[in-house]
Structure 1
Amino acid sequence: MPINSRTLTAAIASGCALLASPAAAQDDPSDGAKRTRVALGPQVKPSWPGAEDVSFGPLVDFATAYGDTPFEFEAPDESFGFAVATSDDFAVGPVLSFESKRDSADVGGVLPDVDFSLEVGGFVNYTVSENFRLRAEARQGVTGHEGFIAVLGADFITRDADEYLLSIGPRVTLADSSYQDAYYSVTPAQSIASGLPAYDASGGVQSVGVVIGYIQQLSERWGIYTYAEYDRLVDDAANSPVVTTFGSRDQYSGGIALTYTFDGGIF
């Protein structure tokens, strides 16, 4: 596949996953010998927020555990990050995420580019019980859209140690007016040039959705990791002429990877 901005974004994000694993920051070496699980495979994501088309990229996951302690649960849609403060129920830490460039050609060549977006922020996890976790994640774009975005989620988790893990949960995504303007608004000048109606997208709830993840160990070393995500644009994002003309209110993501578990660690 030719190298393009979206492929490069995915590759950079994959590398960051190796350096910013939440499990690596929280495990206690006193619990026993270190184990590492690495997953690698393909995934698809919307080409840009609100796109009808999807883009292919690598799916990389990295986790560590000690002794007989199972690998810590991590939802498939979490940004790359690590905990800096933990308790029995809470974990707090920084996150890093990316949004690939939206080219003018993606929207008929009549609207401006939205440059590659680097987003930095933080997360809070609250473990309600062994089988239920809440998470809030907030990020600020420092390039590209330069807007604010937050994701609220809950996950029901069922597992047999590391033999298998199934998770499913709802998601609500919120965005401020800067983020919404970048992808969904049409200024009067752009309206004249494009023929689209002028549109001012306000901040608020951008989408609602659900994420499902599944990990199955096939042998002592090998396993399968897969996930699927569906988001439905709502309110101002859903009604944007950018979406109704060039995109879709239905947003799909998914991937499948082969996992390999070995003794020791990468670092």
Structure 2
Amino acid sequence: MKTVLALVATLALPGLAVAQDFGAPARSLAFDLGLGAELGPSYPGSGTDRVTPWIIIGGTGSGTAGMGNVDQQGLGISPSVGTKGKRDFTDGDELIGLDGIDGAVELGLRLSYGLGPVTGYGSVRRGFGGHEGVTGNFGAKYRINVSDRVTLWTVAEAVYGNAEFNDTYFGVTAPESRASGLPPYEAGSGINEAALTLQARYALSENVSLLGEVRYGRLVGDAADSPVVQDETQSSVRLGVTRRFSFGF
């Protein structure tokens, strides 16, 4: 765990928001940290939900479209951090006979371009732990400033994975097929989900905010055709609180 945290810190430092007033020597370094809860599918393709922790790093929501206090204008590069929960037979009788999958941490980079209230973005992450594949997402978001305290974002995005990632969560090997009764299945690389999201931020104070998110996802491609999938609809709700840390130098 200490190694993972060190990797996250190493990736995060170059992507923290840095602002400079060229009329003065002062600079500032700012980033968000927070924690919340997510109600969503027990595993990719599950037909049942469970509550899991929502870790919020740098205002990015663990790899989702960013919800920073001010969306960066122009080109931006920042860390992208994601997580995948474990999967085993305790998550549903339909998984009996399938190999268990450990929880995974995903580390990578996010590239964005902001123009007024619109931001386009794309990310790529490599998994460590339960999967060692490559995944990420790309899409666009639109910011609506409701008031000084309330900001909304509408987001449309697609999620993709390479063959190793998709086959880990949606494939069925020959031994698993014999043990579970499911047909053998191999999932190839490509887009596995399309989603629409509504995000909201309510500023409790200058540095503390409540975050909320309602997401509607739909599995597509090889993922949707997988015999492991119980429900192609993958919706979730998140609620959390963040604290902005700023340092001048």
TM-score calculated relative to the size of structure 2: 0.76
For 1:231, the equivalent position in structure 2 comes to: 217
Work out whether 1:253 is the aligned partner of 2:236. Answer: yes
For 2:18, the equivalent position in structure 1 comes to: 26
Unaligned runs of 5+ in 2: 67-71
Shift in alpha-carbon separation, 1:79–1:216, aligned structure 2, 3 A: closer
* Residue number among 105, 111, 115 corresponding to 2:90 in the alignment: 105
* TM-superposition CA deviations, 1:152-189 (whole Å, max 9, x none): 01000122675221101111011111111111111222
Matched AA of 1:44: L
> How far apart are 1:32 and its partner, in Å?
8.4
> How far apart are 1:219 and its partner, in Å?
6.1
Secondary structure class of the residue paired with 2:129: coil
For 2:121, the equivalent position in structure 1 comes to: 135
For 1:171, the equivalent position in structure 2 comes to: 157
Alignment length (residue pairs): 232
> How far apart are 1:199 and its partner, in Å?
1.4
Matched AA of 1:114: I
Matched AA of 1:202: G
* Residue number among 85, 92, 101 corresponding to 2:77 in the alignment: 92
Matched AA of 2:233: D
Secondary structure class of the residue paired with 1:242: coil
* TM-superposition CA deviations, 1:209-228 (whole Å, max 9, x none): 01211112356676532111
CA distance in 2, matches of 1:137, 1:42: 23
Matched AA of 1:238: A
Unaligned runs of 5+ in 1: 1-8, 64-73, 82-86
Shift in alpha-carbon separation, 1:23–1:166, aligned structure 2, 3 A: farther
* TM-superposition CA deviations, 1:222-250 (whole Å, max 9, x none): 6532111121001111111110xxx3211
Q: Tell me if the contact between 1:75 and 1:213 (Cα under 8 Å) persists in the aligned partners.
A: no
Identity %: 27
CA distance in 2, matches of 1:221, 1:119: 27
CA distance in 2, matches of 1:143, 1:219: 38
CA distance in 1, matches of 2:197, 2:183: 34
Q: Tell me if the contact between 1:96 and 1:118 (Cα under 8 Å) persists in the aligned partners.
A: yes
Aligned-pair Cα RMSD in Å: 3.5
Shift in alpha-carbon separation, 1:36–1:191, aligned structure 2, 3 A: closer
Q: How does 1:107-122 map to 2 (within 5 A)?
A: 107-122=94-109
Shift in alpha-carbon separation, 1:38–1:144, aligned structure 2, 3 A: closer
For 2:133, the equivalent position in structure 1 comes to: 147
Shift in alpha-carbon separation, 1:211–1:148, aligned structure 2, 3 A: same
> How far apart are 1:53 and its partner, in Å?
2.5
* TM-superposition CA deviations, 1:99-148 (whole Å, max 9, x none): 12111333432100112222222111111x22000110001123222111
For 2:69, the equivalent position in structure 1 comes to: none
Matched AA of 1:51: S
> How far apart are 1:22 and its partner, in Å?
8.2
CA distance in 1, matches of 2:126, 2:243: 34
Q: Tell me if the contact between 2:18 and 2:30 (Cα under 8 Å) persists in the aligned partners.
A: no
> How far apart are 1:25 and its partner, in Å?
3.7
CA distance in 1, matches of 2:33, 2:81: 20
Shift in alpha-carbon separation, 1:112–1:125, aligned structure 2, 3 A: same
Q: Tell me if the contact between 1:76 and 1:213 (Cα under 8 Å) persists in the aligned partners.
A: no
* Residue number among 183, 188, 192 corresponding to 2:178 in the alignment: 192
